[in-house]
Structure 1
Amino acid sequence: MHRPLTIQDFIQLVVNEVARPCPLEERTLLALALTCRAFQEAALDMLWAHQDGLGRLVQCLPEDLWTYSDDPLEDITLSEPTRATTQQDWQRFDVYARRVRTLDIDDSPYFKSQSIQIRSGENEHLAGGVHDITSASFRRLCDFRNLRRFGLNTEMRIILDDDAVQEMAMSWPRLEYLHFSSLESPPTSATLEGLAHLSRYCPSLSSLCINVQTRGTVVSADVIPGGGFCNRALEQIEFRMSFPFGNEAKIAAFLNAIFPNIRSLIGRGEGYGI
């Protein structure tokens, strides 16, 4: 290939043109990645940028860690490992995980796309596998350093604490969209202090849906909420299943300090509203 054609801006223009929505978009990008080394990285970045579910990423793991089910929706069952995983097991996963920009996970029975069923030995007596999604479930997702959108819609309980929120916030500095949606009301231990981590480490976050526990919110003249860091991109927060327990004026003052441009809160009960 002529050297002028290897300029990254030119390569990106070609890949962007190939990636325009069409029935053969993925096949064309894959062919481009496999045919020319100069286009390989840009084409693979575009192929993996938007993922509906974890199916393709799970398939990057060794085949003894997952299997296809007989379900017509082509579920993938990710079983509890029968052996300790090694760094080598995750090498292929890491190569593609870093390319993901948008990750949407929906385990609703009405979501007609490839889905993941995670089963753990200690919970096999429960129908449908694991019923709680904890911070441990998200830890490996923190490797998606370039992630900009993350959405999880599930019928299971999502249980997070402030440390888990901080880990995600520090791992996803480019995050613009973060939505946790659960039909179950969780015994969450995440507080407004957890949201302060998002305001500090995710300055581009503009859409947020999460459950928090607001009881005991403290605001004083001696301590600035969030350590003085704030996010000016966020204008609306959806608390889903959360109730505004505690002093509503203090809750509003805390949120206003870390998200100064917030205009509305959406949640259960009549206590929310700015």
Structure 2
Amino acid sequence: MVVQAQPSPHALYISEISLAISYQLEDDRKALARFARCCRASLGPALDVLWSRVPSFSPFIPLLPLSVKSLWDHCQLDEVTLVEFQCPPEEEWRIFDSYARRVRKLYSGSHLHQIVARIRSKTTLFPLLRSLSLQLLEPLDMQGHLFSDSLRSLKISGPAYVHCKDARVQIAIAHIARDAPLLESLHVEDFAYSVAQSSLPPLHFAHLRAVEISAFFDHSLLQSLCRILSQAPVTQLKLELPALPDKDWSISFPVFPALRSLRICGNPASAEHFIFHLASKGIHELSIYHTRGPASAADCRRLLSLVAEKYGNTLQTLSLALSRSPTPNYPYDLSQAVLDALRTLVPTLNQLETLHLLLPHNRYVHLQESELTFEPLTWPSLKNLDVQAT
């Protein structure tokens, strides 16, 4: 009788094996925690994976020095107390640091996170952090280091107030420019209907390539963000545009010179106004989704004419989706205007390869792909055509 030898536990002492097992258990946190307690060899790799993604700042509260935790427990986070509070010595942060240095991705909506960063202003709390999602419950203190220099991706959620009297979103971006020079992706999400103006100049972001601005904000915040990011080498931009007010808003300077891909949610008039101020000479991909606000046939004609004028020689993909609107004579005037404008602009859009259209359907306009099928000699570059009616 042959008895098979059992696998030796010494295999776990090979860090690559323990780490591979830990990643296999990544989605089962209870099993991963049990594996961490299995033996000393598996402890480090398992904890690295277990703490690599943290859904909130809450797990770090018990790890804080007792004097800092006491502030939280007794709700003593007022300005007077914080000004007089002395940061505990480094040895009291040893346990906190042993876990914080494992974190690569953090979702934080805790005011305490910002308070701790202020208290420990000379040290970055999460030194190896790569991705951070942060809700700005309070304005940031410029003396703190909330953002690690290892940060690559950041999502900022502004205050969930109807009105916000400070420029906390803009100030946070100034923090980022100072402390996270390698940032590659920025997502700004704000829920304040009106915010304070900011006089911050264009900030230096040498590696910022992707920006998303999805918010319910007024025009002052959009203009501030455009000014702050105007010289960043952004190649991909997604944004939600507020409707144009009665008194026209103005971005009086060229923005985003390196842009290649643009996705806009907003009405055609707002989209036209924004595209007019783009400094980029070579948009390759453009998507415009009409989400709210009125739209007219004239707005669509002006938008398409501007796109053809600026990017007819570079645009390869165009997507245009128009929703139903309270505009008079809508939707048949609008749908027909888009089709007529595209027929006129065929010679100008000479690099276009893919065209997606989502237009309102009604009994006056029958949207068929055949309506936009042109002879190869008139539109030789077009390869993909998708026309749908809502």
TM-score bracket, normalised by the shorter chain, equals: 0.5 to 0.7
Structure 2 CA distance, aligned partners of 1:195 and 1:84? 21
Shift of 1:215: 4.5
1:7 to 5, 14, 19: 14
1:188 to 146, 163, 167: 167
* Conserved 8 A contact 1:176-1:202: no
Greater Rg by CA: 2
1:47 to 37, 50, 53: 50
Tell me the secondary structure at the aligned position of residue 37 of structure 2.
helix
- Aligned pairs for 1:62-141 (under 5 A) are 62-63=65-66, 65-66=68-69, 79=76, 85-106=88-109, 136=118, 139=121
C-alpha deviation, 1:191, in angstroms: 5.5
Higher RCO structure (Cα 8 Å, ≥6 apart) = 1
Matches within 5 A, 1:1-274: 5-21=12-28, 25-26=29-30, 28-63=31-66, 65-66=68-69, 79=76, 85-106=88-109, 136=118, 139=121, 142-153=124-135, 156=137, 158-160=138-140, 163=142, 167-169=145-147, 171-184=148-161, 185-188=164-167, 190=170, 194=174, 197=177, 201-209=181-189, 215-216=198-199, 225-226=202-203, 229-232=206-209, 234-238=210-214, 241=217, 243-244=219-220, 252=226, 255-266=229-240, 270=244, 271=249, 273-274=274-275
* 1:59-116 deviation line (CA, Å, top 9, x unaligned): 012456547xxxxxxx966656888623222111111111122222346xxxxxxxx7
Distance 1:175 1:2 in 2: 38
What is the alpha-carbon distance in structure 2 between the residues aligned to residue 267 and residue 135 of structure 1?
Answer: 33
One-letter identity of the residue aligned with 1:85: P
For residue 43 of structure 1, report the CA deviation from its aligned partner. 0.7
1:41 Cα offset (Å): 1.1
Is the Cα contact below 8 Å between 1:238 and 1:266 reproduced in 2? yes
SS of equivalent residue, structure 1 residue 103: strand
Task: Check conservation: 1:237, 1:266, Cα contact below 8 A.
Answer: yes
Q: Is the 8 A contact 2:57 2:109 kept in 1?
A: no
Structure 1, unaligned runs of 5 or more: 68-74, 108-115, 119-131, 219-224
Deviations 1:182-216 (A, max 9, x none): 12314126469828717971333253447986654
Could you say if the C-alpha distance between residues 256 and 264 of structure 1 is closer, same or farther in structure 2, counting changes exceeding 3 Å? Answer: farther
Letter in 1 for 2:150: P
Moved more, 83-92 or 205-214: 205-214
Aligned residue identity for 2:33: L
Partner of 1:127: none
Deviates more, 1:82-91 or 1:7-16: 82-91
Contact persistence 1:58–1:66 (CA under 8 A): yes
Shift of 1:145: 1.4
Please tell me whether the aligned partners of residues 106 and 152 of structure 1 are also in contact (alpha carbons under 8 angstroms): yes
Retained in 2: the 8 A contact 1:6–1:38?
A: yes
CA contact (8 A) 1:51 1:100 kept: yes
CA distance in 2, matches of 1:262, 1:143: 30
SS of corresponding position for 2:134: strand
Q: Deviations over 1:104-162 (max 9, x none)?
A: 2346xxxxxxxx779xxxxxxxxxxxxx97973794883201223322346x4x3137x
SS at match of 2:239: strand
What TM-score do you get using the length of structure 2 for normalisation? Answer: 0.46
Superposition RMSD in Å: 4.5
Partner of 2:344: none
Deviations 1:42-71 (A, max 9, x none): 11112222223222211012456547xxxx
Preserved CA contact (<8 Å) 2:104 2:131: yes
Q: Distance in 1 between matches of 2:233 and 2:179?
A: 7
Q: Which letter maps to 1:182?
A: P
Partner Cα separation in structure 1 for residue 19 and residue 241 of structure 2: 42
In the alignment, the residues of structure 1 paired with residue 225 and residue 64 of structure 2 have an alpha-carbon distance, to the nearest angstrom, of 44
3-state SS of 1:263 partner = strand
Distance 1:32 1:226, change over 3 A: same
